[in-house]
């Protein structure tokens, strides 16, 4: 798995340093402030007491302690005491002291300088530590915020690694369990490193740190922390510093990162499990609804077919008219059963995305004629009126599927309309599409039910029985063609089903041939 670097969002943490003068700058500054205090005081040596010159040195010592810490201020105190003795006490330009008063002043200067320097250095160290803690808190907050917005484990792993490496100088690694062993997700090559893998495996199995700076598997290059969840370890966070050592503050910060990372990973794990359970529950609900919906529709035609065949087999006194009546009944029920199975298969294809459109040019009169032929038995008690212009442009559609839409709508209209009530089929050009409607004079659709009619297994509140799949298939086919199907209440009673289909812009030769 390839993990790309995320965008930097938090500053790298500065280490807590207790000896800022160790690089030499602090010592140089101490000498400079002593020289400056001497240069300022010498011109006024004759006009004020030597004790006043001591104040200049105290200011310099305080500056050295404030900017460079204890070591710099201590050097400044020693040099200041010597300079004070050399330049401002009798005899001048000599370290010999004649007066007891000057001895006391020099000693007090040295002691006071050390005390002031120590206090200033301590305040500086405390201020530096507070700044470090503030940075660490801000970095953890940034990490927590970004992990909260991550929606999958891969993004979280990227963010955890990024923040750990951005805070410290080194390489962060994430180890997750696969079967019974731990594997490095961010750096797969480390999985084959026995020392590193052993340390990570130990942390995962025993829920405690191991590796660098610990007493367990200390020979490893990395410091490993378990990502503790509420019930068990979710993985391991490893960090390999470039300096080959870890400061105590870095260990504390890494433990905080591991805690935040574990909480985030557990949240995603719980969310994924909940989603899985939800999908399983929806699947079970769908299966139950399917069985409940189609069980009656499948049993009824099967029972009728079986009954007709049984009568024909057992009763040898049946007349030819009775035989024909039973055959017609069995044929009709077989056709009904075929439509139910076809609907189930069509729904499966639509939901799986495996429905392939085989488009060609078709005329509206051709599609409607074929649909009426398929439903002539259902529509024998309903006069059908076709109001569209037969010279309409050709449609670029899958003719078989559009015929299925018309068949389902006509079957729906015949099922819910009273005998002898008319059914209207109309179509017209609407911008770059063709609007097609099928209207009946049934009980109509209730308010708020217009879109629910197209939901799977929804039969509505109208009388009648069915699998609740016909209109769902209509919606799927129309939307697969880039159109939209709707239902509304018809003025004067009934329901109007309306859908848009793309205009194929047939060539003039095709339109002329149709004429």
- Write a three-state SS string for 176-188: EEECCEEEECCCH
In this predicted structure, the answer to whether residue 328 has a pLDDT above a threshold of 50 is yes
Distance CA 213, CA 244 (A): 9
The confidence score (pLDDT) of residue 510 equals: 43
The three-point CA angle 242-244-246 to 5° equals: 100
User: What percent of the chain has a predicted confidence (pLDDT) above 70?
Assistant: 83
**How many Cβ atoms are within 10 Å of 509's Cβ, its own excluded?**
8
- CA torsion, ordered 122, 127, 130, 131, to nearest 10 deg: -140
Residue 438 pLDDT more than 90? yes
Is the Cβ–Cβ distance between 410 and 379 less than 8 Å? yes
CA atoms within 13 A on the CB side of 315: 13
| Helix axis angle, 100-149 to 70-88, nearest 10° | 160
Burial class (CB in 10 A: 0-12, 13-18, 19+), 82: middle
The helix (H) or strand (E) run that includes residue 157 is: helix 153-167
Does residue 150 contact residue 160 with C-beta atoms inside 8 Å? no
3-class SS of residue 218? coil
Joined together, the tokens standing for residue 147 give 């992990």
Which residue, chain included where needed, has tokens 């629910």?
452
The mean pLDDT of 216-222, rounded to a whole number, is 86
| 399-416 and 470-480 helices, crossing angle to 10° | 150
pLDDT at 423: 93
* Alpha-carbon distances, residue 50 vs 54, 55, 93, 110, 202 (angstroms): 7, 9, 14, 14, 69
Pairing outcome for strands 360-362 and 233-241? unpaired
Residue 352 structure tokens:
């799986």
Question: What confidence tens digit (pLDDT) does each residue in 369-411 have?
Answer: 988 988 888 888 899 999 888 778 888 888 888 888 898 899 8
Among 125-139, 306-320, 498-512, the least confident range: 498-512
For residues 355 and 171, the model is more confident at 171
Measured N-to-C along each axis, helices 364-374 and 399-416 cross at an angle, to the nearest 10 degrees, of: 50
Give me the pLDDT at residue 500, please.
Answer: 87
Overall average pLDDT of the 11-27 stretch? 55
CA distance 96 to 119: 31
> Which residues, listed in sequence order, are joined to residue 241 by a DSSP beta bridge?
170
Q: Does pLDDT of 162 surpass 60?
A: yes
pLDDT tens figures, 455-464: 766 655 554 4
How many whole angstroms separate alpha carbon 174 and alpha carbon 469?
49
pLDDT at 439: 93
What average pLDDT is seen over the chain? 79
- Give the model's pLDDT for residue 392: 81
Residue of 427, 429, 451 lying closest to 437 (CA atoms): 427
- Per the DSSP assignment, residues forming a β-bridge with 361 are 396
pTM as predicted: 0.45
Q: Count other C-beta atoms under 10 Å from residue 115's C-beta.
A: 13
What average pLDDT does the segment 35-60 reach?
80
Q: Is the pLDDT of residue 127 over 70?
A: yes
């Amino acid at each position: 798995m390839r993990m790309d670097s995320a965008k930097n969002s938090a500053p790298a943490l500065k280490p807590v340093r207790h000896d800022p003068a160790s690089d030499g700058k602090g010592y140089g500054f101490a000498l400079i402030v002593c020289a400056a205090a001497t240069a300022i005081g010498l011109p006024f040596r004759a006009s004020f007491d030597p004790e006043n010159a001591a104040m200049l040195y105290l200011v310099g010592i305080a500056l050295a302690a404030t900017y460079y810490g204890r070591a710099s201020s201590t050097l400044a105190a020693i040099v200041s005491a010597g300079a004070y003795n050399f330049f401002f006490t009798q005899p001048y330009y000599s370290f010999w002291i004649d007066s007891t008063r000057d001895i006391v002043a020099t000693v007090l200067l040295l002691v006071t300088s050390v005390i002031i320097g120590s206090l200033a250095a301590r305040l500086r160290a405390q201020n530096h530590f507070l700044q470090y803690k503030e940075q660490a808190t801000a970095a953890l907050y940034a990490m927590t915020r970004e992990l909260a917005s991550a929606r999958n484990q891969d993004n979280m792993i990227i963010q955890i690694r990024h923040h750990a490496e951005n805070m410290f100088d080194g390489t962060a690694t994430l180890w997750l369990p696969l079967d019974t062993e731990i594997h490095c997700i961010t750096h797969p090559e480390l999985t084959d490193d026995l020392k590193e893998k052993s340390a990570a495996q130990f942390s995962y199995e025993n829920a405690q740190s191991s590796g660098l700076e610990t007493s367990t598997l200390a020979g490893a290059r990395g410091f490993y922390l378990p990502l503790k969840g509420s019930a068990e370890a979710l993985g391991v966070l490893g960090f390999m510093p470039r300096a080959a050592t870890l400061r105590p503050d870095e260990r504390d910060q890494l433990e905080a990162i591991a805690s935040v990372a574990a909480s985030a990973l557990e949240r995603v794990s719980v969310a994924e499990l909940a989603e899985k359970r939800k999908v399983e529950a929806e699947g079970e609900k769908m299966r139950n609804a399917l069985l409940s919906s189609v069980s009656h529709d499948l049993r009824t035609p099967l029972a009728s077919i079986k009954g007709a065949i049984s009568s024909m087999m057992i009763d040898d006194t049946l007349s030819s008219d009775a035989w024909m009546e039973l055959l017609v009944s069995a044929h009709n029920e077989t056709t009904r059963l075929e439509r139910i199975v076809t609907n189930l298969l069509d729904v499966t294809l639509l939901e799986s995305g495996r429905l392939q459109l085989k488009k060609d040019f078709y005329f509206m009169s051709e599609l409607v004629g074929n649909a009426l032929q398929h439903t002539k038995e259902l529509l024998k008690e309903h006069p059908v009126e076709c109001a569209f212009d037969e010279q309409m442009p050709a449609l670029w559609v899958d003719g078989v599927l559009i015929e299925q839409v018309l068949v389902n709508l006509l079957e729906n209209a015949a099922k819910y309309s009273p005998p002898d009530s008319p059914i209207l089929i109309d179509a017209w050009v609407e911008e770059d599409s063709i609007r097609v409607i099928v209207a009946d004079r049934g009980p109509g659709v209730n308010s708020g039910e217009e879109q629910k009619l197209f939901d799977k297994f929804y039969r509505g509140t109208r009388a009648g029985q069915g699998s609740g799949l016909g209109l769902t298939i209509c919606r799927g086919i129309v939307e697969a063609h880039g159109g939209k199907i709707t239902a509304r209440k018809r003025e004067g009673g009934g329901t109007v089903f309306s859908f848009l289909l793309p205009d194929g812009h047939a060539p003039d030769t095709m339109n002329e041939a149709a004429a």
